[in-house]
């Protein structure tokens, strides 16, 4: 059914649950997975002399996140590749939508923490952006993290 599954990853438990769900779908349908991580350089540039070092740390972390997700795919026997998306000022939803179009994805699988109210407003919702902007169906995989009271 779904042959090209795009999965934004950030290394969180919720993101890893999305990877597992995507790998199961890909295995059942004979599909493949593309794992993407969005690095917003502007979020790491501060104007201080160490900003280049901070950006290097962010890139190293992004590479580790992608490598870990790729290892999960290899362990599951699912064909997969990775892509680091570096677009200064790019919003996650826009970047994922563009990658879904250019890679010809037929499904996006994204993890969501399920935040509501003030938590969603303050922290933003990357999953919500992806849901609104994706040009293909989106499967949102919910976190099992306990909700704050």
* Burial of 100 per CB tally in 10 Å (0-12, 13-18, 19+): buried
In the CATH scheme, what is the homologous superfamily, with its name and number, of domain 4-142? HUPs (3.40.50.620)
Sequence-distant (≥ 6) Cβ neighbours of residue 128 within 8 angstroms: 93, 112, 120
**Beta-carbon count within 10 A of 71 CB:** 11
pLDDT band at 108 (very low <50, low <70, confident <90, very high): very high
* Paired tokens of 105: 């994805």
Residue 139 has, within 13 A of its CA and on its CB side, a CA count of 21
**Which residues, in sequence order, are bridge partners of residue 71?**
none
| Residues 53-80 pLDDT 10s | 788 888 999 999 999 999 999 999 999 9
Spans of all domains in the chain: 4-142
Say whether 25 sits in a helix, a strand or coil.
helix
- Report the C-alpha gap between 76 and 69 in whole angstroms: 11
Of all residues in the chain, the percent with pLDDT exceeding 90 is 58
**For all residues of the chain together, what is the average pLDDT?**
85
31: pLDDT strictly greater than 60: yes
pTM confidence score: 0.84
């Amino acid at each position: 059914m779904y042959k090209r599954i795009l999965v934004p990853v950030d290394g969180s438990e919720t993101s890893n649950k999305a990877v597992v769900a995507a790998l199961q779908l890909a295995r059942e349908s004979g599909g493949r997975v593309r794992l993407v991580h969005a690095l917003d350089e502007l979020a790491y540039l501060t104007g201080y002399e160490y900003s280049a070092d901070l950006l290097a740390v962010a890139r190293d972390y992004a590479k580790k996140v992608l490598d870990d997700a790729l290892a999960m795919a290899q362990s599951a026997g699912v064909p997969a590749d990775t892509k680091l998306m570096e677009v200064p000022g790019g919003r996650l939803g826009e970047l994922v939508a563009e990658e879904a179009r250019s890679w010809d994805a037929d499904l996006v699988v994204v993890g969501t923490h399920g935040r509501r109210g003030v938590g969603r407003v303050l922290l933003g919702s990357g999953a919500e952006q992806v849901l609104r902007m994706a040009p293909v169906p989106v499967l949102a995989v919910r976190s099992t993290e306990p909700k704050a009271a």
